[in-house]
Amino acid sequence: MTKPSIPVGIICSQHGPYQAMGREILKSAMMAVDEINEQDEFDFSISAHVRDPRGIISEYHTVCDDLIRNVGVEHIIGCYTSASRKQVLPIVERTDRLLWYPARYEGFECSDNVIYVGASPNHNVLPLVRYVLDNLSREIFCVGSNYVWTWETNRVTRELVTAARGKILAERLLELGESAVTHIVDEIVRRRPPVVFNTLVGSSSYDFIRALHAATLAAGLDIPMLSCSLCEPELKIAGPASAGCITSSAYFESIRLPENQAFVARWKARHGEHSSPSVDGQSAYVAVYLLARALQRAGTSDIGEVRRAAAGYRYNSPQGPVWIDGSNNHCVLTPRLAVSNAEGQFDIFWEAEAPVRPDPYLTQLDIAASPARDGTLPNAPHLRVVK
Amino acid sequence: MSKPSSFSLRGRKALVAIKDERDAIIVRRQFERLGIDIVIWDGGATIDCRPDVTLIDDEFLPLTSPAQRASLGRSPVIALLGTETPSRLKLVLDLDPASFLVKPLRSAGIYAALVLAFERRERTNELKQQVVKLERRLRSRRVVLAAVLQVMHTHALAEPAAFALIRRAAMEQRKTIEELSAEITAKGSLPRAAG
């Protein structure tokens, strides 16, 4: 007997400045859809309707409207940047649909029509900056893409650094897709900051990483780079220059969990031995599974029922156990810190002892608290790889 | 103790007066996410708490009791608007709101309204203190003028030099110019010239 089909929209840009990440999200989401459609566990199949806004911000509204009006989807998976999420938010709220948003983001939003599957600010920027303050430097040079992700990440960083009596040496912004990075690289070489925090997105980030690596090599400098978004496919794009970047993320390909090892094996069988899943792609995979399990438990695609069924349901995902905190629709997950290596992978040197509740408004943030004092982060002067 | 940041809302107390149950649910849920404690007010005669902020539905307006108006005046007010008609806005303006939200409510906007309200109250209080200080200085201007004239006469100085002499003496004696001027005019004593 043919199983009933539930239409699900997938919105991700496969062209434009952050096409690489959009393609990763699509590949992972489709992998989950295909797996679910083959499993007897589910008494329905998912019919994926993919739309490509091509990185054009106004197109997100158009494709979302099309999915809701013409296809009749109740659930949409996708969007990468916060700017794109803000474009579709009014439509999904007005039509009472549910957006399953896979990317880590800057927080300060809590819509009843969004399930935030990626990391919240207390999962990504907080552990990273506190690690840096306790182990590397109290002075940070910030470079980022000129939109809300960088603005808010920089604000939180500034508050933490200022409370530690440190200093933000500079905040340099580039428009999305901008490749003219030389003036910023020159300034960094001239000023020699102890660390550079890179919140650039997509091609700008790869151009910057390569240019800074070449310039610091020529000048005989060793300036560590920080990131809350860099992932394995991007390490491959940026090349050997991307080694040594201290990165905060809930997912790395190198996580030593049986669920992840099985996921990576399936991924490589599907996409090639030399390909790697990404944090946002893996999160899209998790989003599809959370949606499917909630649909199965709810027995309906009604968004209120599905949201209730999703809340608190624990899923042993590739990144470890995750579940949706029903009080704010954000994901409970395990923060990790790692450093990128020359093989295009990350060596994990810290992870939280248990999954951490999301704090999208940073209400639990104690600016003055030090990770060295609360014992949750390493304060050794040297990085230690967790095996 | 340092004052709390307007961006950090955990532990604040809000007085909430909302008619529509759906709007009330949204506010309760969002306040819980933000770590804000809620005290519900049904529009009764007395308000027996000292909130950090008040959310009031325009359907509760006008407030007839002077005690109610005085209670609400002690903390920033966020008005919930159901209509934008001038008659209703006039009632809202009587509360001197620090921020507003438009009904029906959604979770987006509530955090911003709270932050704006706390920040507006903070800046208004700073401005009020500045006004009090300036008013005090304005009142003492006559005394300073009298002191300057006295010093001009007794020391045969021009007005800028006389004022400079008073200012220098005030600094040496760790007094304000206004305080020293009052002494000059009251006692007739002149500030000692420095070194």
Residue B8 forms contact with A (CB below 8 Å): yes
* Predicted local distance difference test score (pLDDT) of residue B87: 84
**What is the distance, to the nearest Å, from the Cα of residue B191 to the centroid of all Cα atoms in its chain?**
38
Name the more confident of B193 and A29. A29
pTM equals 0.83
Closest by CA to A198, choosing from A165, A175, A180, A225, is A225
Residue A109 forms contact with B (CB below 8 Å): yes
A266 contact partners, CB below 8 Å, separation of at least 6 = A31, A35
* Predicted local distance difference test score (pLDDT) of residue B187: 80
Q: How far apart are CA B100 and CA B85, in angstroms?
A: 15
Neighbouring C-alpha atoms within 13 Å toward the C-beta of A149: 28
Choose the closest CB to A363 out of B29, B35, B106.
B35
Residues of A in contact with B35 (CB under 8 A): 363-364
A318 cis-preceded (ω within 30 degrees of 0): no
Closest by CA to A105, choosing from A326, A367, A359, A370, is A359
ipTM comes to 0.72
Mutate to test the interface with A, among B10, B36, B110 (most CBs of A within 10 A): B10
Residue B34 forms contact with A (CB below 8 Å): yes
* Chain segment A325-357, per-residue pLDDT in tens: 999 999 999 999 999 999 999 999 999 999 999
Bridge partner residues of A168 (DSSP): A140
Q: How far apart are CA A363 and CA A361, in angstroms?
A: 5
* Predicted local distance difference test score (pLDDT) of residue A369: 64
Closest by CA to A98, choosing from A58, A138, A142, A67, is A67
- State the first-to-last Cα distance of chain B, in angstroms, to the nearest integer: 42
Q: Do B9 and A363 touch (CB under 8 A)?
A: yes
Provide the pLDDT confidence category of residue A374 given band limits of 50, 70 and 90: very low
**pLDDT at residue A304 greater than cutoff 80:** yes
Q: How far apart are CA A331 and CA A124, in angstroms?
A: 13
**pLDDT at residue A235 greater than cutoff 70:** yes
Mutate to test the interface with B, among A88, A91, A93, A110 (most CBs of B within 10 A): A110
Q: A116 vs chain B: nearest CA distance in angstroms?
A: 15
* Predicted local distance difference test score (pLDDT) of residue A378: 52
Q: How far apart are CA A281 and CA A264, in angstroms?
A: 12
Q: How far apart are CA A133 and CA B177, in angstroms?
A: 47
Provide the pLDDT confidence category of residue A23 given band limits of 50, 70 and 90: very high
Mutate to test the interface with B, among A155, A362, A363 (most CBs of B within 10 A): A363
Choose the closest CB to B107 out of A112, A362, A363.
A112
* Chain segment A143-193, per-residue pLDDT in tens: 999 988 899 999 999 999 999 999 999 999 999 889 999 999 999 999 999
Q: What is the mean pLDDT of chain A?
A: 92
Q: B48 vs chain A: nearest CA distance in angstroms?
A: 27
**What is the distance, to the nearest Å, from the Cα of residue A148 to the centroid of all Cα atoms in its chain?**
14
Which residues of chain B, if any, have pLDDT below 50? 1, 193-195
* Predicted local distance difference test score (pLDDT) of residue A1: 66
* Predicted local distance difference test score (pLDDT) of residue A148: 87
* Chain segment B61-101, per-residue pLDDT in tens: 988 788 888 888 889 999 999 888 888 899 999 999 999 99
Asked if residue A108 lies in contact with residue A360, where contact means CB atoms within 8 angstroms, the answer is: yes
Q: How far apart are CA B114 and CA A204, in angstroms?
A: 36
A100 in helix, strand or coil? strand
* Predicted local distance difference test score (pLDDT) of residue B86: 86
Percent of chain A's residues with pLDDT above 70: 95
A337 contact partners, CB below 8 Å, separation of at least 6 = A127, A128, A131, A246, A247, A248, A348, A349, A350, A351, A377
Please state whether beta strands A167-174 and A139-145 pair in parallel, antiparallel, or not at all (unpaired).
parallel
Residue B137 forms contact with A (CB below 8 Å): no
* Chain segment A248-285, per-residue pLDDT in tens: 999 999 999 999 999 999 999 999 999 999 999 999 99
